[in-house]
Amino acid sequence: MTCANPARRNGAWRHVGRALAAAMAVAALTGCEDKNTFVAPPPPKVDVAAPVQRPVTRYVEATGNTAPIKNVDLVARVQGFLQSIDYTDGTFVKQGTQLFTIEPETYKLKLEQAQAAEVGAQATLKQAEADFKRQADLVQRQAVSQATLDTSTSTRDNAQASLQQAQVNTRLAEVNYGYTKVSAPFDGIVSAHMVSVGELVGVSSPTQLATIVAMDPIWVNFTVNEQDVLRIRAEAARRGLTVADLKQLPIQVGLQTETGYPHEGHLDYVSPTLNSSTGTLAVRGVVPNDERVLLPGYFVRVRVPFDQEKSALLVPDTALGSDQGGRYLLVVNGDNIVEQRKVQIGPVDNGLRVIESGLKPDDRVVIAGLLRVIPGQKIDPQVTKIEQPQASAK
């Protein structure tokens, strides 16, 4: 047996080693490719919830301003020097409270003078009537002529007229004497006085002394746009309400710094026509104000309930999106695929938005993580409940 050359044997083994190394490298590459195979991520977990379903009261909301139901300028109706100011500026007074006194002595003397003239006229008339009776009796007995009776009759009639004139003068003197004391015509707050003690007032025309303002109740004036007017009239027609019934609708009022609408009253007046230039209807409500929280001239928030829906659908405002087509919600279908649903929104009621149309009670609405999902995407819905905020104060 011939032995192979050792150098040749070593070269053969080198070729075998290289082949084995290449095979191992291929196997290694093949193993790496298996480990790097793409695996799709799991669907994102997204919070979904069914819309809240509960009764909702629908309101007409507006901005209004308060105004006094009575606002009267107190004036001097007689001429004289202002003798006294009988109240403190800015205080609340009851009806009949004396506020000013205007030199009463002169008008008291004129009243006494008129009363004395009236007494004299009564005495003259009494004498004239007695003389008339005597002359009438003498004429019947043909003791005097008819001309004498005619003169007596004329004297009696003149005496009666003089008495009536004296009575009128007495009444006028009483009225003028009463004007020397200026009293509050109703309960209210009196402004600062505009004249000083000792000043001559009522010289050529009535002089304004102050102003009295009634505070309880108080008017609230506001306007309703044409669309709301049409909605209210349609609802009134459906419920068979008359204009008189609409005037009894409650009205709720809140100041700009108050939460909710703590002041309640009722409608008092509705204008018969719309303002063609603004397309609005003037409306007025009356609100009790015994604590005088509402001052005339305030700007206030106003709402008037006109309808109640028994089963409205509501979602958080944060669940709503918007695009050029309007407002929408992201809804998850039965295959857990996200769909974009166009909706019509209504008012906010106790922190949740009313959905007028486009949503069903059993829909699953994406309420959180809207930026992490897109329409057409499959998700892992995490069913939760919509938390309802506590009802706001009235």
Q: pLDDT band for 10, please (50, 70, 90 cuts).
A: low
Which pLDDT score is estimated for 21?
57
Rounded mean pLDDT of 314-343? Answer: 90
In this model, does residue 248 exceed pLDDT 90? no
Which pLDDT score is estimated for 2?
46
User: Length of the chain in residues, anyone?
Assistant: 394
Which pLDDT score is estimated for 24?
63
| Residue 36, CA distances (Å) to 22, 28, 33 in order | 21, 13, 5
Q: pLDDT band for 94, please (50, 70, 90 cuts).
A: very high
Q: What pLDDT digit, counting tens, does each position of 293-313 carry?
A: 999 999 999 998 877 778 889
Rounded mean pLDDT of 81-98? Answer: 94
Rounded mean pLDDT of 28-37? Answer: 55
Q: pLDDT band for 1, please (50, 70, 90 cuts).
A: very low
68-77, 114-123, 153-162, 271-280: least confidently modelled range = 153-162
* Cα–Cα dist 124/132, whole Å: 12
Q: How far is CA 84 from the centre of its chain?
A: 41
In this model, does residue 291 exceed pLDDT 60? yes
* Cα–Cα dist 251/59, whole Å: 10
Rounded mean pLDDT of 67-91? Answer: 93
Reference 253, options 213, 289, 214; nearest CA is 289
126/209: higher pLDDT = 209
In this model, does residue 284 exceed pLDDT 90? yes
User: Strand pairing of 207-213 and 380-383?
Assistant: unpaired
In this model, does residue 36 exceed pLDDT 70? no
All residues at 6 or more sequence positions from 26 whose CB lies less than 8 Å from its CB, including other chains: none
**Cβ atoms of residues 331 and 366 within 8 Å:** yes
In this model, does residue 19 exceed pLDDT 80? no
In this model, does residue 393 exceed pLDDT 50? no
Reference 219, options 60, 70, 59; nearest CA is 70
* Cα–Cα dist 169/166, whole Å: 5
* Cα–Cα dist 84/181, whole Å: 10
Q: pLDDT band for 105, please (50, 70, 90 cuts).
A: very high
**Cβ atoms of residues 217 and 88 within 8 Å:** no
Structure tokens at 103: 């030199």
Reference 163, options 128, 130, 111; nearest CA is 128
Rounded mean pLDDT of 246-256? Answer: 87
Greatest mean pLDDT range, 39-43, 183-187, 275-279: 183-187
Greatest mean pLDDT range, 217-221, 224-228, 275-279: 217-221
Q: Taking all residues of the chain, what is their mean pLDDT, rounded to a whole number? A: 84
In this model, does residue 126 exceed pLDDT 90? no
DSSP 286: E
Q: Considering the entire predicted model, what is its pTM? A: 0.69
Q: What pLDDT digit, counting tens, does each position of 127-150 carry?
A: 888 877 777 777 677 766 777 767
Mind listing the domains of the chain with CATH numbers? 46-56+311-383 (2.40.420.20), 59-68+216-308 (2.40.30.170), 72-102+183-213 (2.40.50.100), 104-179 (1.10.287)
